[in-house]
Amino acid sequence: RQLKGFLQGSERTIKFDDEPNLVYIGTLSEIGAPDPGQIRGINTFTFYCEDVHPSSSFKKIINANTTDENIGSITVLPDNSVDVLINNQGTLPAYPTFKFTHTSDNAYIGMAGENGVEALGSQEQYLTNSVTTETKKVGSQWLLNPAKISDKSNFDGKFKTANDRANPQNGQLLTAGNLVWKQDGLRFQDGGPAPDKDTVYSARGAMQRWEIPADSVGDVGSANFTSTFNIFAQATKQGQTGILQLLFVDGNNKLMAGMGIYKDDTKGNTFQT
């Protein structure tokens, strides 16, 4: 009775000891009648399997680090296309699962096989909104060149002094100094004009602003925005304190997002984010 209760139900998993890596999916359709008066005996159980072929319970994963030729190989060709060889050692068709991760906002991926081609994205490097009735093609572009993230030309004429504006994250952080391009990016130069004689000099920080320009079709703003940046903080003396911030604000100078590195450790050299 316990065995009968265990076997009942639709689409049960069935395995056999002589083929432990194969799995059948079936539904119990008939149980043979045992001989009356027997405590032990041999009986027959009949299962209906919609697919008479078993599937393997073992999975093989192939990626760029695969070295077992019995599984297959992935080869990057000179034109940056990728050749994938999968060795299916079974007797039935094997259907692989692919996972793609784009390294940009939009791109084209094509998969060529013996029976046809599967394409994802657009060869024109555009995305078309198919969810709504919008048919305008929208392309992504860099407003600051990421390849020149440490190049002076990426900063000249684009960043303006903004000491007259309140810090959108903390209005008590006053600025009066200057940021200038040095070596590989914007760096703090001084804390502002020198004070009058016999006046205590209180050095303040500096703030600059970059206003996002219109794109190639004249639109300002974007639903999806990516920013690549580096923040480098260094204290030349153990007791020095300070803060470095990169803040994103709207047209009303309201904070939307940002990142900062600060040091309030007056004895050691510990920074926090």
Residue 198 confidence (pLDDT):
59
Q: pLDDT at residue 5 above 70?
A: no
Between the CA of residue 267 and those of 170, 219, 237, 239, what are the distances in Å? Answer: 24, 49, 9, 5
Q: What are phi and psi of 4, to 5 degrees?
A: -60, -45
- Per-residue pLDDT tens for 48-73? 888 877 777 667 778 778 888 788 88
Q: What is the pLDDT averaged over residues 16-29? A: 82
Between the CA of residue 36 and those of 4, 33, 40, 98, 256, what are the distances in Å? Answer: 17, 9, 10, 56, 80
**Comparison of pLDDT for 101 and 65, the residue scoring more:** 65
Q: How many secondary structure helices (H) and strands (E) does the chain include?
A: 1, 16
- Per-residue pLDDT tens for 152-211? 887 788 888 888 888 888 888 888 888 888 877 888 888 777 656 655 555 678 888 988
Residue 213 confidence (pLDDT):
83
Report the distance separating Cα 250 and Cα 229, nearest Å: 19
Q: Look up tokens 């200057």; give the residue.
A: 178
* Percent of all residues in the chain with a pLDDT value above 90, rounded to a whole number: 0
**Comparison of pLDDT for 94 and 208, the residue scoring more:** 208
Domain ranges of the chain: 2-56, 143-273
Q: What is the pLDDT averaged over residues 239-245? A: 81
Q: What is the pTM of this model?
A: 0.47
- Which of 9-18, 43-52, 104-113, 215-224 shows the lowest mean pLDDT across its residues? 104-113
